[in-house]
């Protein structure tokens, strides 16, 4: 084989790897979009059951074909405090199992022999998928077309890589060099290093399967390279945890320890198999005898059994692993006692997984609505009782509302342009205005507290009748808020309609409050100064109700997509 042939083989291999990586990215992105609602519901079910966590991690990873994406999601959840380390651990275990699906798909594509190859059949899905995406009129059909095209591209890349491997396998010098690398530890470290560069254990495992299938390396070498890929896959999580909170770092470390533990156990078993006088065998020989004449299936099955076995071993040790990572990464006292402003449900790592970021954006807005309404209630209490015990928490919450409005806007901008479903896009587009409406409710609450302060300075107060009317107005706005919460959370147009009816009552009642105030002025039961504060309070409360309605109206376009 001359230098031109060698160079051609190298370039062909690079082309195959490139196509395979693009295919993985296309599939992962569009599968995320297709399964967005299911995936959101799936991750919302994380509970105390370890097996449930493993199942969620497995199904979630199989659905979007990316254990890295699932792990990054988990780190984000842990970082914002809505998932415990124990829950995160079991989902990570499941993600390792879910990632073996890609290897099984690749192995399936290599069957065929002299008959029509499954690789060729699956590769044809690329053209079918592209036609669906180009000419399909419905968004769902286009999405399915993109997924099908990505699936087909996997096998185009696989076929290209396989041809390059066949060329390399024809070179005695290459085969002799690779066969000389038999040390399991070196192979594991090589697999770790290569995966850290590619940042995808699925891609490296697929490459290794093609190398084993073409005879470029032995099955045993492929097994140890694949084991190393599990450790290398932790790089994505470690990068995501950099700059995040203590628990995020612990989660990334737990992911690393889990994989290192699994690889160490299988390395030890491999050494024992070679040392036993009655056995003297290795993993390659065992799996070669179980699945004869199918080297691609042999490696894919080892990959699956390795990850399932490691998970079964790790589940009873979860609490111990958590203790170890907590010991290695101690609580940062400065962070622990910090009272700084922060997002409650969103995290920078979630930007890598838009479907989860959008779900968390909804939770962030719901929380912001609770904060705004709580401050409104505090303001009403202060203006009617002239008791300012809640003034400090009121000021803190007002600062939070201003911060959240700014941060949510920044986060939406960061998410804009990322691939996501029409539903998520519409929700995201409405989020900035929703945050602004909620922040305005906080501003009206500030105005009401200022009225309370002025009454205190004047040594005045509202009459019993005025306080009773304010209480009635507060009850109406409380009922309005309850309906808006339901409408927003459940995308419920009926709840929104009920809220509109309550808002009409609020408009009517605030007009009645102003008329009643004029009557009290004429009767001499109220001073002009106190009356001015009363009218301003009624007007500000009515405007706060208007902003609540605006917040609820954001669901109208979303309801068309559900």
Tokens of 279: 């056995």
State how far the Cα of 72 lies from the Cα of 240, in Å rounded to an integer: 6
CATH homologous superfamily, domain 348-559: Phosphate transport system protein phou homolog 2; domain 2 (1.20.58.220)
DSSP 388-450: -TTHHHHHHHHHHHHHHHHHHHHHHHHHTTS---HHHHHHHHHHHHHHHHHHHHHHHHHHHHH
- pLDDT over 70 percentage in the chain: 89
CB neighbour list of residue 297: distance below 8 Å, 6 or more residues apart: 107, 291
State how far the Cα of 260 lies from the Cα of 108, in Å rounded to an integer: 28
Q: Looking at residue 350, what DSSP letter applies?
A: G
Tokens of 168: 């390399």
Longest CA pairwise span in the chain (Å): 109
pLDDT tens per residue across span 269-317: 998 888 876 666 888 888 988 888 888 899 999 999 999 999 999 999 9
**Res 339 pLDDT > 80:** no
Please tell me which residue, 144 or 487, carries the higher pLDDT value.
Answer: 487
Report the pLDDT value the prediction gives residue 343, as an integer from 0 to 100. Answer: 87
Q: Looking at residue 370, what DSSP letter applies?
A: H
Report the pLDDT value the prediction gives residue 338, as an integer from 0 to 100. Answer: 46
State how far the Cα of 123 lies from the Cα of 57, in Å rounded to an integer: 29
438-474: b or e for each residue (b if 16 or more CB lie within 10 Å)? bbbbbbbbebbbebbebbeeeeebbbeebeebbeebb
Dihedral angle of Cα 298, 301, 307, 312, to the nearest 10 degrees: -120
State how far the Cα of 103 lies from the Cα of 226, in Å rounded to an integer: 10
Please tell me which residue, 49 or 298, carries the higher pLDDT value.
Answer: 298
**Res 62 pLDDT > 70:** yes
Most confident region among 18-32, 167-181, 498-512 by mean pLDDT:
498-512
State how far the Cα of 297 lies from the Cα of 290, in Å rounded to an integer: 10
In which band, very low, low, confident or very high, does the pLDDT at 337 lie, cut at 50, 70 and 90? very low
Average pLDDT over residues 537-546: 94
State how far the Cα of 558 lies from the Cα of 431, in Å rounded to an integer: 12
State how far the Cα of 64 lies from the Cα of 32, in Å rounded to an integer: 5
**Res 206 pLDDT > 70:** yes
Report the pLDDT value the prediction gives residue 234, as an integer from 0 to 100. Answer: 87
Average pLDDT over residues 479-500: 94
Tokens of 71: 């792990």
Question: How high is the mean pLDDT of the chain?
Answer: 84
> Which has the minimum average pLDDT: 219-223, 496-500, 528-532, 535-539?
528-532
pLDDT tens per residue across span 518-541: 887 777 767 767 778 888 999 999
Nearest to 322, CA basis, from 254, 243, 265? 254
Report the pLDDT value the prediction gives residue 329, as an integer from 0 to 100. Answer: 87
Report the pLDDT value the prediction gives residue 336, as an integer from 0 to 100. Answer: 44
State how far the Cα of 270 lies from the Cα of 64, in Å rounded to an integer: 33
State how far the Cα of 491 lies from the Cα of 427, in Å rounded to an integer: 11
> Which has the minimum average pLDDT: 22-31, 386-395, 407-416?
22-31
Report the pLDDT value the prediction gives residue 541, as an integer from 0 to 100. Answer: 94
Report the pLDDT value the prediction gives residue 113, as an integer from 0 to 100. Answer: 54
State how far the Cα of 191 lies from the Cα of 223, in Å rounded to an integer: 10
**Res 331 pLDDT > 90:** no
Q: Where are the domains of the chain?
A: 3-328, 348-559
pLDDT tens per residue across span 104-155: 888 877 766 544 566 777 788 889 888 888 888 787 788 788 888 888 887 7
Nearest to 196, CA basis, from 68, 28, 25? 68
Please tell me which residue, 153 or 400, carries the higher pLDDT value.
Answer: 400
375-386: b or e for each residue (b if 16 or more CB lie within 10 Å)? bbbbbbbbbbee
Report the pLDDT value the prediction gives residue 39, as an integer from 0 to 100. Answer: 60
In which band, very low, low, confident or very high, does the pLDDT at 381 lie, cut at 50, 70 and 90? very high
State how far the Cα of 271 lies from the Cα of 289, in Å rounded to an integer: 19
With beta carbons less than 8 A apart as the criterion, state whether 27 and 154 touch: yes
Q: Is 262 exposed, middle or buried (0-12, 13-18, 19+ CB in 10 A)?
A: buried
Report the pLDDT value the prediction gives residue 373, as an integer from 0 to 100. Answer: 96
**Res 16 pLDDT > 60:** yes
What does the angle CA 39 – CA 425 – CA 41 come to, to the nearest 5 degrees? 15
Run of H or E including 285: helix 283-290
Report the pLDDT value the prediction gives residue 197, as an integer from 0 to 100. Answer: 83
Report the pLDDT value the prediction gives residue 411, as an integer from 0 to 100. Answer: 92
State how far the Cα of 434 lies from the Cα of 431, in Å rounded to an integer: 5
């Amino acid at each position: 084989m001359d230098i031109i042939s060698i160079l051609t083989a190298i370039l062909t291999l690079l082309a195959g790897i490139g196509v395979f990586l693009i295919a993985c990215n296309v599939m992962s992105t569009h599968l995320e979009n297709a399964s967005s609602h299911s995936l959101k519901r799936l991750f919302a079910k994380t509970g105390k059951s370890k097996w449930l966590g493993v199942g969620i991690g497995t199904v979630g990873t199989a659905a979007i074909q990316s254990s890295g994406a699932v792990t990054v999601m988990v780190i984000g959840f842990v970082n914002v405090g809505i998932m415990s380390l124990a829950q995160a651990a079991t989902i990570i275990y499941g993600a390792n199992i879910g990632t073996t699906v890609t290897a099984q798909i690749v192995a399936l594509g290599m069957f065929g022999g002299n008959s029509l190859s499954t690789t060729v059949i699956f590769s044809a899905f690329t053209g079918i998928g592209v036609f669906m995406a180009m000419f399909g009129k419905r968004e769902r059909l286009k999405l399915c077309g993109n997924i099908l095209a990505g699936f087909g591209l996997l096998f185009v890349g696989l076929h290209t890589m396989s041809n390059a491997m066949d060329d390399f396998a024809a070179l005695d010098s290459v085969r002799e060099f690779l066969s000389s690398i038999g040390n399991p530890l070196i192979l594991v470290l090589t697999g770790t290093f290569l995966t850290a560069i590619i940042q995808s254990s699925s891609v490296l495992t697929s490459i290794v399967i093609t190398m084993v299938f073409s005879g470029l390396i032995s099955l045993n070498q492929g097994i140890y390279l694949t084991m190393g890929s599990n450790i290398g896959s932790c790089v994505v999580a470690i990068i995501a945890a950099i700059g995040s909170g203590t628990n995020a770092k612990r989660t990334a470390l737990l992911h690393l320890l889990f994989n290192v533990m699994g690889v160490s156990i299988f390395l030890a078993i491999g050494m024992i198999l070679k040392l036993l006088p009655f056995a003297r065998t290795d993993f390659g020989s065992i799996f070669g005898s179980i699945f004869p004449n199918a080297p691609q299936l042999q490696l894919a099955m080892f990959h699956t059994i390795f990850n399932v076995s490691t998970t079964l071993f790790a589940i009873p040790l979860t609490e111990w692993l958590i203790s170890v990572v907590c010991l290695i990464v101690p609580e940062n006292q400065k962070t622990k006692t910090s009272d700084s402003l922060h997002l409650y449900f969103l995290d920078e790592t979630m930007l890598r997984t838009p479907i989860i970021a959008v779900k968390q954006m909804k939770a962030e807005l719901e929380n912001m609505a609770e904060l705004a309404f709580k401050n409104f209630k505090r303001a009403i209490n202060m203006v009617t009782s002239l008791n300012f015990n809640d003034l400090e928490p009121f000021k803190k919450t007002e600062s939070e509302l201003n911060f959240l409005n700014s941060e949510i806007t920044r986060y939406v901008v960061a998410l804009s342009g990322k691939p996501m479903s029409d539903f998520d896009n519409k929700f995201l587009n409405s989020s900035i205005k929703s945050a602004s409406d909620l922040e305005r409710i906080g501003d009206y609450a500030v105005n009401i507290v200022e009225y309370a302060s002025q009454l205190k300075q004047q040594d005045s107060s509202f009459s019993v009748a005025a306080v009773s009317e304010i209480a009635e107005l507060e009850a109406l706005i409380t009922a309005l808020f309850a309906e808006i919460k339901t409408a927003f959370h459940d995308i419920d147009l009926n709840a929104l309609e009920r809220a509109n009816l309550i808002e009409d009552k609020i408009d009517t009642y605030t007009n009645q409050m102003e008329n009643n105030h004029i009557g009290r002025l004429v009767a001499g039961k109220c001073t002009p100064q106190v009356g001015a504060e009363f009218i301003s309070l009624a007007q500000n409360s009515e405007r706060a109700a208007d902003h609540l309605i605006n917040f609820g109206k954001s669901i109208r376009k979303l309801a068309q997509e559900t």
